[in-house]
Amino acid sequence: MVLRSFVKAHKQHGLRGFSLNMGIRASWFPFRALASVSILRIALMSEALPLRRGAPQIWSVAALCHAIGDALDARFNPVRVSGEISGFVRAASGHCYFSLKDSGGQLRCAMFKRAASGLAFAPREGQRVEVSGRLGVYEPRGELQLVVEAMVDAGEGNLYEQFVLLKARLQAEGLFEPERKKPLPKRVRGIGVVTSLGAAALHDVVSALQRRVPHITVLIAPASVQGATAAAELAQALESLYALAAPPAATVAGAMSIDVILLVRGGGAMEDLWSFNDEALARVLAQSPVPVISGIGHETDFTIADFVVDLRAPTPTAAAELCAQPLEQLREAAGQLQLRLQTAGWRALDRQSQRLDQVTSRAGRPAALVSRMHLRLSNLGQRMAYGPLRHLQAQQTRMLAHQTQLQHGAHQRIERQRSRLAQLGVRLGALDPQLVLGRGYAWLQDATGRPLTGTTQMQIGQRIQAHLSDGTADLQVQTLRPGQG
């Protein structure tokens, strides 16, 4: 048979695999898969080119793709595969295209709209999934392809897990805080660009800057943007630009000065952008003395560097546009300032001209000025003549009013004092001891005139004097009875 002849010929030459080179990509398959096929479609055999008996079989590319597809279908399908999603794209048609990868390899996958519509989650970059489907050959490209019919979440992938852990740690340290973000300068004197010299992003950035700000100096610090040494090269390139980002006062006359830095790279899968998730690179970015704008990948791509920089742009071209105000806008702003300055100058000149006209008009008619001054002098003379008299009359009127108030107040005060004196006289009269003596009481005193208020002050045989209401009486103490009322 044709297939057996093909397998036999390759076994004789010690070949264990083969490739289909169609100018795009090569895919390798083991011959064990082909040798295990027992039955092939008759239609595939008819597509092989007829050769002379005994000559090696020559296959057409299409026939060989069909044969390989049948072999894979018979040997593997249906198949379940576990791996991390990489390069996930959902086309406008609803079909999804991505790769499943692990540490040892990757497999191209396609999930058509009917199967994708039944997904219970949105697949994302780096997510670990388990898929089931059919393995085959995508004949237009000669590529091994897994047509996915079902997909379930199997947990986060290793790369994505590393990304999440590093992001959480740096965020806890405050590297992502908005307070540490530096604003873009209003006037840019120089722009630094960090990217690969062979990257398409460099062409996009340079084109945008040449179109918008051809007068600004652009300094390119080349570095790898992919690979094991890319993160270290990026950090070194940034530090070389930091040395040119000195304050304006410290800049030597004529020396280049960098006011903003662009960190750019084109799109790619998560592993392609992984150098921008390096911790050391993130800390170098956090130490930048000038604002840093990132334009890494596409709008949906996020790296650690995007969170650390001062401003993130969705694309490299957008990053260039953010820091480069178009020359036309600068010219328009300068024109508006010139118009405002010119208008203000004309207005000031008009005001001064009007003031000069007024001064000239006054100087040109001295008679009117003399007349106004004479009238003012006459008014001042009248004020001087009648002013003191009016002031004196006002003071006299005020003095009479005060005199009246003073007399009235004195009279009222005297009346109040008389009334109070009469009240005090009545109260004093009520306290007159003579009234008490009139009620049968006597006031006793000794020979010295000292009042006697108790028996303890008296002695038997002592002579005392008693004051009564109508006179006095001399008495002698004969008996003392203390304690008797």
Give the span between the Cα atoms of 317 and 267, in whole angstroms: 12
- Residue spans per domain, the chain: 2-161, 176-325, 436-476
- Residue 291 is predicted with a pLDDT of 92
Give the span between the Cα atoms of 232 and 212, in whole angstroms: 32
Tokens of residue 301, six digits: 């791509």
Give the span between the Cα atoms of 429 and 436, in whole angstroms: 11
Ordered per-residue pLDDT tens for the chain, 485 residues: 333 333 333 333 333 333 333 332 333 333 333 333 322 332 333 344 444 555 678 888 888 888 888 888 888 888 888 888 888 888 888 899 999 988 888 889 999 988 888 887 888 888 888 888 988 888 888 888 899 988 887 765 567 778 888 889 898 989 899 898 998 888 888 899 999 988 888 888 888 888 888 888 889 999 988 888 889 999 999 999 998 875 554 455 456 788 899 999 988 777 778 889 999 999 999 999 999 999 888 887 788 999 999 999 888 888 888 887 766 666 777 777 888 888 888 888 878 888 887 777 666 666 776 777 888 888 888 778 777 778 788 888 888 888 889 888 888 999 999 999 988 888 887 777 777 777 788 888 888 888 888 888 888 888 888 888 888 888 888 888 887 55
- The neighbour count for residue 350, using CB atoms within 10 Å, is 10
- Residue 110 is predicted with a pLDDT of 92
Give the span between the Cα atoms of 188 and 454, in whole angstroms: 116
Q: What are the Cα distances from residue 184, in Å, to 9, 179, 242, 290, 441?
A: 68, 14, 16, 8, 113
CATH match of 176-325 with 1.10.1530.10: no
CATH code linked to domain 2-161: 2.40.50.140
The secondary structure of 283-340 as a DSSP string is: HHHHT-SS-EEEEESSTT---HHHHHSSEE-SSHHHHHHHH---HHHHHHHHHHHHHH
What is the β-pairing status of strands 311-312 and 292-296?
Answer: parallel
- Residue 362 is predicted with a pLDDT of 65
Q: What are the Cα distances from residue 295, in Å, to 160, 233, 258, 311, 369?
A: 20, 17, 18, 9, 76
- Residue 326 is predicted with a pLDDT of 65
**Residue 142 and residue 25 in contact, taking contact as beta carbons nearer than 8 Å:** yes
- Residue 39 is predicted with a pLDDT of 28
- Residue 54 is predicted with a pLDDT of 58
The neighbouring-strand residues paired with 296 are: 265
Alpha-helix runs per DSSP H in 141-278: 158-172, 200-212, 230-242
- Residue 27 is predicted with a pLDDT of 34
Helix or strand run (H / E) with residue 155: strand 143-156
